Structure 1
């Protein structure tokens, strides 16, 4: 995969959230820069090993260096930037060990979430998750990759929020930079997105049926794959690791 120097955006454009209609999202300049840079790093638009200048980022996004410094430090805390004091800042290489840890954490959490939802006495909330899945199917049919990804995140976060543990989903998401980049290097083959939707439908069906074991089996299937091909991905893109 050949990556070229990214074009500078005319202004900050934070990723779209799945917010209720009419709800206004207000964030600081630092948060906007963080989200914009993070999205570009995960999309590999800013490639592993690519240097970043605080002054250039400040100019690109039309903000002072203070929010840029704060955003970069947060990205460094998430393992997506390497900051070498008085020297340079660059996008971190992909660390497979970090990806494995995050995957272990996410799998452990989602297995328990699905189990508890399937054992809930009232499972009428599945109507809501079915609606998100249908919207994801429409995004797939429209070949709207951004909407598909946003709905994927919204579905998983909603399942966590039903149990009051959405902050744990946020924690996993903040740690997911290495495995997300690994997934983006592992370009999906034909039918991959359809397979994602199919797993979502089967998970929802298992929860509705009160079948925790069936739901857990689909979760394991849903979250497997990328790490099994990690060494092959590294062999194809050695400069990124």
Structure 2
């Protein structure tokens, strides 16, 4: 699928290649650019009103992240979702976030619950199909808060970088009936478990939440067979 867009205004006071990278990455993660979409370098140069160099640099970075595949002298296409990579990212997140929520429940239950509750209320306010981007943004804020309060915020960027395939799977899952409500219920259960000061309860709530997408991976693959790679 080829995507045609009007010219996009970049901030010319900053380097443009990183901006193009962030824009294209966001479009891929949000499924605005779906797997196998052809990315025309000429069209991108026209859209962003730039030379070929910043577009090339942005595409090289996306290839390194596993989000596009470059076929020299032929085409650049959005990569399919790699199920194996998604499973590995899920394992990493479980390892980190289960321990983080356990420690926070033991060490600062009231303060942590207050922070998470505030983000949850913001997420509840945008829980509608026409606000998926905002809903997803608050979802990331909810989990980022665990890293920050645990003193491991330096790991957040690494986890985000390694979770791109998992994030795209989640985005396919998000519009499914009842998914928004399930996410909110899971977050509410985590907040209440943390506030209770019961670490095992908090760990169980987080494990259930993080395993939601991979638990229905076969269904997602059946619904979007052209989008995934197993």
TM-score range, shorter chain: 0.7 to 0.9
The answer on whether the counterparts of 2:30 and 2:133 sit within 8 Å (CA) in structure 1 is no
Task: Report the secondary structure of 2:111's partner residue.
Answer: coil
Q: Partner residue of 2:143? A: 156
Q: Partner residue of 1:221? A: 208
Query: Residue 38 and residue 124 in structure 1: after superposition, are their counterparts in 2 closer, same or farther (change >3 A)?
Result: same
Task: Report the secondary structure of 2:57's partner residue.
Answer: helix
Residue 144 of structure 1, CA deviation: 2.8
Q: As a proportion of its length, which structure holds more helix? A: 2
The alignment status of 1:145 with 2:132, answered yes or no, reads: yes
The answer on whether the counterparts of 1:133 and 1:200 sit within 8 Å (CA) in structure 2 is yes
Query: Residue 149 and residue 123 in structure 1: after superposition, are their counterparts in 2 closer, same or farther (change >3 A)?
Result: same
Alignment of 1:57-136 (within 5 A): 57-121=44-108, 123-136=110-123
Mapped partners of 1:123, 1:56: distance in 2? 52
Deviations along 1:152-201, whole A, 9 cap, x unmatched? 11121122111221232221211222122222333533332122112112
Residue 210 of structure 1, CA deviation: 1.6
The answer on whether the counterparts of 1:38 and 1:75 sit within 8 Å (CA) in structure 2 is yes
Q: Partner residue of 1:207? A: 194
Q: Partner residue of 1:11? A: 8
Higher mean C-alpha displacement, 149-158 vs 180-189: 180-189
Higher mean C-alpha displacement, 171-180 vs 95-104: 171-180
Mapped partners of 1:238, 1:64: distance in 2? 36
Q: Partner residue of 2:173? A: 186
Q: CA RMSD of the aligned region, Å? A: 2.4
Mapped partners of 1:9, 1:219: distance in 2? 42
Task: Report the secondary structure of 1:89's partner residue.
Answer: strand
Residue 86 of structure 1, CA deviation: 4.2
The answer on whether the counterparts of 2:115 and 2:145 sit within 8 Å (CA) in structure 1 is no
Mapped partners of 2:109, 2:171: distance in 1? 37
TM-score (norm 1): 0.83
Q: Partner residue of 1:23? A: none
The alignment status of 1:198 with 2:198, answered yes or no, reads: no
- What runs of 5+ residues in structure 2 fail to find an aligned partner? none
The answer on whether the counterparts of 2:17 and 2:55 sit within 8 Å (CA) in structure 1 is yes
Query: Residue 92 and residue 34 in structure 1: after superposition, are their counterparts in 2 closer, same or farther (change >3 A)?
Result: same
Residue 208 of structure 1, CA deviation: 2.0
The answer on whether the counterparts of 1:12 and 1:36 sit within 8 Å (CA) in structure 2 is no
Residue 141 of structure 1, CA deviation: 6.3
